[in-house]
Chain A
Amino acid sequence: MSIIEQTVDEPIDGLVATPEFEAANEAQQRRRGFLMALPAFAYLILFFAVPLVIVIVYSFATRNRFGGTDLNGWNLESYRGLGDDLVRQILVRSVVLAAITTVICLLIAYPFAYYMSTRRPAVRNLMLVGVMIPFWTNFLVRNYAWYVILGTDGPFSQVTEFVGIGETRLLFTQTAVVMGLVYGFLPFMILPLYAAIERIDGRLLEASRDLYANGFQSFRHVLLPLSMPGVIAGSILVFIPSLGAYVTPEILGGAKTTLLGSYIVTQFLSARNMPFGASLSTVLMIVMLTATLVYFRKGGRTL
């Protein structure tokens, strides 16, 4: 046996890809991955999954006379409460306002995102930064800014008076709430739309024009279908937080414009009807999950 053969045939310390070694290596990799994920995994189970289950359990519980909650004797009482006139009114109002907000955002953001994607890269990046800054800015402060603007004798009213429309009192109305929601969530619409439109191959649009499509037709049959993932992603990202909005209606809405978010909070902090509040939260969560699933089914990648 020559020395050369020896080094080839008898590797040191089993460092060769035998099936056993591969398997051991893979098992070790799995263990390593699991150990790395473990801290975050355990944290989320304890501080997210368990609380989630508690909310669902509460939604089947009963409110006792002292404003506390009895956990034994599960029932659907609090879900029955969803049919009450007042609750139905609030649900419908929340859905309608969230839908209006989404549509307005879409109408403003689509042309904006399209225009942005036609600019030079330098301009595009600058515009992107211009959108990102309000996106990162304190949400409460941005809502409060509208409180200042829309208030009695505030800047908005002065402008309308100056133009001749007369004094306006928008604060504490549904219009003010929609304005605040659009202001708060418009970046959530612009960013996915821009990401979707920017990816589209411009030659497809040129081809449609070559084939005698007019501007609208090429938008309707080429641009819009191709940017649909962005439209859906943006709509979900605006609709869901609008539906559960709490800060905006609290600051800009009046007593008569209670929305789902504020109503849930009331159940916990003042009405002390926790099972009912829990069932409303559960419903909101189910809406959110359904919307997300729809989004992933439609080929969305990330939120």
Chain B
Amino acid sequence: MSGVITPRGASRTLLSINSLLVFLFFYAPIILLIIFSFSDNRNVGVWGGFTLDWYGEFADSQPTRKALWNSIQIAVASTIVSVVLGTLGALALERFTFRGKQVFDALLYLPIIIPDVTMAVMMLLFFAELAGVLGLSKGFATITLSHIAFSISFVSVVVRARIAGMDERLEEAAMDLYASRWQAFRYVTLPLIMPGILGGGLLALTLSLDDVVITQFVAGPGWTTLPVFVFGLIRKGVTPLINAVSVVMLLASMALVALSLFVQRVRTTDSA
């Protein structure tokens, strides 16, 4: 049941051309970047024959590898914490009423809509003020704490959507059949919302691996992530090494999308 009527004639042709152009616009830059990462030329946008040198340089570059490893550690740590906190928050909001619920709801939305730069400034000043109290030095802890602060919201939005689509009577049925509260949660609710939790987790992982602005503000000397490291390289002067690193980051995001689409697929076949 298509919602809108199908256009005919010239308008249809124009619409399909527009769509083709949109896809060309989306994918041409990505494809060109991949091609030029194999180009044997110091100028990043000019083809100079095939080479794998830049990938070799990436593998040999100590600071790049260090930054990559930092990124992975931070992404995993912040994802685990934000998935647990975000899922609990989502369950509380969808299934219970409690004092301060509306404030909590609003507070959960803010990190999603606040501009990156503003949040970066917030975290910078916060850790500057806190440095004396907690003795946190800029690095793993400050970056991870900041990433969790925005990831919780994204996880809870995704999980909430999943809980909202779930039939509450299933839990009631389980408890009518003498399941304890915990058993009903463990064997009914949790499996049903699992795709939402995985989807939220993958989103958190992606966001953590992508972030430049906030991380740049809370990263310390000697403790930086791959995107921040690459951003610094781009501003210092572009070398083909950046092409290769970019393609690796590109493929990592693509793998995460594929994974999340797979999770979504499981979700649709589940409910069908």
* Residue positions of A touching B, CB distance < 8 A: 29-34, 36-37, 39-41, 43-45, 47-52, 54-55, 58, 108-109, 111-112, 114-120, 127, 129-134, 136-142, 144-149, 151-155, 183, 186, 197-202, 205-206, 209, 215, 223, 240-241, 243-244, 246-247, 250-251, 260-261, 264-265, 268-269, 274, 277-278, 281, 284-285, 288, 292, 302-303
Contacts and interface: CB of A to CB of B under 8 A. Distances in A.
A153 B7 contact: no
Q: At the interface, is chain B mostly helix, strand, loop or mixed?
A: helix
A292 to B, nearest CB: 5
A183 B121 CA distance: 26
Nearest to A287: B115
A109 B33 CA distance: 24
Nearest to A111: B18
Of B16, B84, B88, most buried by chain A (CB within 10 Å of CB) is B88
Contacts of B4: 114, 117-118, 197-198, 200, 202, 205, 223
A112 B86 CA distance: 34
B98 A30 contact: yes
B33 A148 contact: yes
Given A118-B7, A145-B30, A54 B129 contact: yes
A223 B25 CA distance: 26
Given A41-B104, A144-B33, A114 B22 contact: no
A132 B261 contact: yes
A277 B128 CA distance: 15
B177 interface: no
B117 to A, nearest CB: 5
A268 B124 contact: yes
Nearest to A242: B115
B113 A41 contact: no
Nearest to B16: A115
A139 B238 CA distance: 17
B178 interface: no
Contacts of B85: 39-40, 43
Contacts of B100: 34, 37, 41
Contacts of B112: 303
B89 A130 contact: no
Of A32, A51, A223, most buried by chain B (CB within 10 Å of CB) is A51
Of B108, B110, B227, most buried by chain A (CB within 10 Å of CB) is B110
Of B27, B122, B235, most buried by chain A (CB within 10 Å of CB) is B122
Contacts of A206: 5
B70 interface: no
Given A41-B107, A281-B118, A51 B86 contact: no
A45 B100 CA distance: 12
A140 B152 contact: no
B88 A47 contact: no
Interface stretch (B52-60, B61-69, B141-149, B188-196): B141-149
Of A136, A198, A199, most buried by chain B (CB within 10 Å of CB) is A136
Given A250-B235, A285-B118, A37 B113 contact: no
B118 A40 contact: no
Contact of B96 (A29, A148, A251, A303): A29
A44 to B, nearest CB: 5
Given A48-B107, A202-B2, A281-B121, A133 B33 contact: no
B91 interface: yes
5 closest A-B pairs by beta carbon, nearest first, are A33-B96, A244-B115, A154-B45, A40-B89, A51-B122
Contacts of A52: 110, 122
A202 B146 contact: no
B239 to A, nearest CB: 12
A32 B124 contact: no
Contact of B231 (A31, A114, A140, A153): A140
B171 interface: no
A158 to B, nearest CB: 9
Given A268-B121, A284-B118, A148 B149 contact: no
Contact of A148 (B32, B153, B230): B32
A36 B92 contact: yes
Given A54-B126, A134-B30, A260-B117, 11 more contacts: A44-B153, A54-B125, A115-B18, A134-B27, A137-B257, A141-B33, A144-B33, A148-B44, A240-B115, A264-B118, A281-B121
A224 B6 CA distance: 16
B32 A149 contact: yes
7 contacts: A36-B96, A40-B89, A40-B156, A49-B107, A202-B2, A268-B124, A281-B122
